Amino acid sequence: MEKAEAASPLGRFCAEFSESRVAVAALAVVVLVIGLAVLAPLFAPQDPYDIGKLVLGDARRPPGFVGAGGYVHWLGTDAQGRDLLSAILYGLRISVQIGVAAGAIAFAVGATLGATAAFMGGRVEILIMRFIDLQLSFPAILLALVLSAILGQGKGQLIAALVAAQYAYFARTAHGAASAERAKDYVVAALSTPMPASRVVFRHILPNCLPPLIVVATVQIANSIALEATLSFLGLGLPVTHPSLGMLIANGFQYMLSGRYWISIYPGVALIVLILAINLVGDQIRDQLNPRLKR
Amino acid sequence: MSAPLLQVRDLATHFFMREGVAKAVDGVSFELGQGEILGLVGESGSGKSVTGYSLLGLVDPPGRIVAGSIKLNGQELVGLPQAELRRMRGRRMAMVFQDPMTTLNPVLTVATQIKYAIGAHESVSAKAGRARAIDVLTRVGIPDAAARLDDYPHQFSGGMRQRVAIAIALLNRPDMIVADEPTTALDVSIQAQILAEMKSLVRDLGTALIWISHDLAAVSALAGRIMVMYAGRIVEYGPTAAVLRAPRHPYTRGLLDSLPMRAEPGQELAQIPGAPPSLAALPPGCPFHPRCPSADAICQTAPATTASGGRGWRCHHPLLDGAA
């Protein structure tokens, strides 16, 4: 207790976090995977996007095969003769990029909408929140599917579709937290001065709504990575020349029954490990930020 | 004496709800001199807080000031646009809220919040702002103010937080501060300290203070004059000592009798029977008559205010001196 009082709030948070081995391991995995994804060009034996380097004769080779490039394909090759390890690293890169970008934009849009609704009250609040309720009443995947079909292929379009499907969760959470803050005296006091209303929302209300939003953010980043993989699996994500994890899984799917399991399984394992690790980190943060679960 | 700082005439603030109109404040008149401390006393729901909020124009819908006038330094506040009121709040009049746990923003340091409060009305350099912040925090009795400035509210105790809130209210040297039960959430020893500090602060700065409380004992230690409210009206007013020594209104008498220190140990505490009436459905005549020990038929008609020698009461059967 004495130690905890001396530390800053952030220091205390970190100390508490490090008490959970599972969470620390999960965080290590997240950092490792994101590090590998960001630095993929340094680690990957092959540039999977350079079609000129692909040798069709090396297609669908099992793990451990030494191909025409002169290096070992540790995880085998896919139907186009791509080194699967390289393809997975580059695929992770796309998944993480899109997941984080979509999560961050959905966070900004959703939190602003939710806090504004709670702040304004009246008709504005009803309009915004009922629209969000309406959207939440049908599956996110359906919305993302329709939108990416309309918008077409490409990273930007994919992120837009994911944001549209996910901002609602942030808005709901922000609205709940902001409604509680709105009634507190410090907000009343800030409003009684000439301070502009937007400043009250962004400097006073939103920062106090952050804890639940951070928890939603971790979950939603994992969700948007999964959603992106789903869209790509269904062929609505990125072009075939830039395979993300979902598309790699889809491409290998047809070879599963002929015994060439590695084309689908390894990208699938990478995806599961990443999403599981992010969710475990998110669970720990939620437990720590929830005062009811405090020991 | 020159013209009073604050002049309130027939103030009425009503809340328009589905169940009917709640007359939270119904015809309140009083004056407040420069540097004067006025205690406003009553049970929960007597309209004392709403009176305070009305003075600063902080009544939110469904509530509304329906009649009356509030003049601060001769300027009429009722009907003033919100933008104008915002410019005046903090600089000419300020408020201290009841619960020090929610009056400060938990994610900003005290220094930042004080900076905002100054910046709302004037632009000062970071250095000058800091010096002023240290000055007010020292004045309200926060030890080592310079070091505490960069702390967050959660690093302060309840009493210290309320001191910070009072410091922020004093920051722009307002003419008048309305304090809405500022010591109710604090323990008794801290309460006594803050009361003593408030008294000397007000004397030094010449700020007028309206101290709203249900605690007659706390108010009597601070205020020169008190007003007792019941059901949205002032039922008795006068110099604190005189009102406490010889209350005229049976309601004031009841409040005084229910103070624990007036009872013998082990003896049951005196109480006023019944509960305050619903403000949406006041009994006819004197609103206190259903609970009043001396009520009779005439109390079905509303009593007028009797004024005499700086005191006043609103009762058909005022108590006499020494009628204990």
Would you list the DSSP string of B109-178?
A: -HHHHHHHHHHTT----HHHHHHHHHHHHHHTT-TTHHHHTTS-GGGS-HHHHHHHHHHHHHTT--SEEE
pLDDT score, position B321: 67
Of A185, A192, A207, the CB nearest to B107: A207
Residue B239's beta-bridge partner residues?
B225
Pick the CATH number of B6-92+175-263+271-313 from 3.30.70.270, 3.90.700.10, 3.30.980.10, 3.40.50.300: 3.40.50.300
Give the pLDDT mean for B289-310: 84
Least confident of A109-118, A255-264, B152-161: A255-264
pLDDT score recorded for residue B2 = 60
CB-hemisphere CA count at 13 Å for B33? 7
Task: Give the closest of B98, B105, B120 to A193, CB-based.
Answer: B120
The helix or strand, by DSSP H or E, that contains position B39, with its residue range, turns out to be strand B37-41
B83 close contact with A: CB closer than 8 A: yes
User: Residue A10 domain-assigned?
Assistant: no
CA A158 – CA A234 distance, rounded (Å): 13
For residue range B120-165, what is the model confidence (pLDDT) as tens digits? 888 888 888 899 889 888 888 888 888 888 888 888 888 888 889 9
Largest Cα–Cα distance of chain B, in whole Å?
Answer: 68
Residue B54 neighbours by CB distance under 10 Å: 26
B103·A195 Cβ contact <8 A: no
Write b or e for each residue in A85-103: b if 16 or more Cβ atoms lie within 10 A of its Cβ, otherwise e.
Answer: bbbbbbbbbbbbbbbbbbb
B82-101 tens-digit pLDDT: 888 888 888 889 999 888 88
Q: Classify residue A138: in a domain, yes or no.
A: yes
The answer to whether A246 and A233 are in contact (CB under 8 A) is: yes
Residue A128 has pLDDT above 90, yes or no: yes
Query: Whole-angstrom Cα distance, residue A283 to residue B3?
Result: 65
- Give the Cα separation of A290 and A285 in Å (integer): 9
pLDDT score at A15:
85
CA distance A88 to A272: 13
Residue A229's domain is classified under what CATH number?
1.10.3720.10
pLDDT exceeds 80 at position A57: no
Please give the residue range of the domain that contains residue A276.
Answer: 16-293
pLDDT band at B11 (very low <50, low <70, confident <90, very high): very high
Task: Specify if A142 maps to a domain.
Answer: yes
A5-44 pLDDT, tens digit per residue, is 445 777 888 888 888 888 899 999 999 988 888 888 887 7
Q: What is the mean pLDDT of residues B16-39?
A: 88
* Closest residue on chain B to A195 (Cα): B120
Task: List residues bridging with B70 in a β-sheet.
Answer: B8
SS3 B311: strand
Contact flag A193-B89 (C-beta cutoff 8 Å):
yes
Residue B202 contacts residue B217 (beta carbons within 8 Å): no
Q: Is the pLDDT of residue A251 over 60?
A: yes
Cβ-based contacts of A203 with chain B (< 8 Å): 108, 116
pLDDT at residue A292, as a whole number: 62
Taking the CA of residue A205 and the nearest CA in chain B, the distance in Å comes to: 9
> Which range is least confidently modeled, A1-10, A211-220, B3-12, B243-252?
A1-10
Q: Tell me the nearest-neighbour CA distance from B287 into chain A, angstroms.
A: 32
The pLDDT tens digits of the residues spanning B235-275 come to: 999 999 888 888 888 898 888 888 877 667 777 777 888 88
DSSP assignment letter at B278: P
Contact A230, A215 (CB under 8 A): no
Is the peptide bond between A194 and the residue preceding it cis, with omega within 30 degrees of 0?
no
Q: CB contact, 8 Å: B56 with chain A? A: yes
Cβ of residue A4 closer than 8 Å to a chain B Cβ: no
Q: Distance (Å) from the C-alpha of residue B271 to the closest C-alpha of chain A?
A: 32
Tell whether A207 is within 8 A of chain B (Cβ).
yes
Mean pLDDT, rounded, of chain B: 86
Residue with more model confidence, A257 or A174: A174
| Helix, strand and coil percent figures for chain A, each rounded to 5 | 75, 0, 25
Could you tell me if B157 lies within 8 Å of chain A, comparing CB atoms? no
The verdict on residue A124 lying in a domain is yes
Going from the C-alpha of A14 to that of each of A3, A142, A277, B160, the distances in angstroms are: 13, 38, 18, 28
DSSP annotation of B289 reads: G
pLDDT at B88: 87
pLDDT above 50: residue A295 = no
CA angle B5, B8, B13 (to 5 degrees): 140
Secondary structure string (H, E, C) spanning A96-160: HHHHHHHHHHHHHHHHHHHHHHHHHCHHHHHHHHHHHHHHHCCCHHHHHHHHHHHHCCCHHHHHH
A293 has a pLDDT exceeding 70: no
Average pLDDT over residues B14-21: 87
Please determine, for residue A166, whether its predicted confidence score (pLDDT) is greater than 70: yes
**pLDDT > 90 fraction of chain A, expressed in percent and rounded:** 25
Residue A119 confidence (pLDDT) above 60: yes
Question: Span A222-226, mean pLDDT?
Answer: 90
User: Is residue B324 scored above 50 in pLDDT?
Assistant: no
Q: How far apart are CA B183 and CA B158, in angstroms?
A: 10
* Chain B nearest CA to A194, separation (Å): 5
The mean per-residue pLDDT over the stretch B224-229 comes to 92
Contact list in B for residue A182 (CB cut-off 8 A) is none
- A203–B97 CB contact, under 8 Å: no
Mean pLDDT lowest for which of A171-180, B56-65, B300-309? Answer: B300-309
State the pLDDT at residue A171. Answer: 94
Within a domain: A4: no
Report the pLDDT averaged over residues B45-66.
Answer: 89
Best CA proximity match to A215, nearest among A295, A101, A111, A128: A111
Q: Which tens digits make up the pLDDT trace of A141-158?
A: 888 888 888 988 888 888
The complex scores an ipTM of 0.71
Three-class SS state of A204: helix
Rounded average pLDDT over A76-84: 77
Smallest CA–CA distance, residue B301 to chain A, in Å, is: 40
The mean pLDDT value of chain A amounts to: 84
A196 domain residue, yes or no: yes
The answer to the question of residue A9 being in a domain is no
Q: Touching check for A180 and chain B: CB below 8 Å? A: no
- The pLDDT of residue A72: 72
Domain boundaries, chain B: 6-92+175-263+271-313, 103-173
* B25 in contact with A, Cβ within 8 Å: no
Q: State whether B102 and A185 contact (CB < 8 Å).
A: yes
- CA separation, residue B168 to residues A179, A186, A226, B115, B163 (Å): 25, 12, 50, 10, 9
A153 occurs within a structural domain: yes
Domains of chain A: total: 1
Inter-chain contact B58–A188, Cβ cutoff 8 Å?
yes
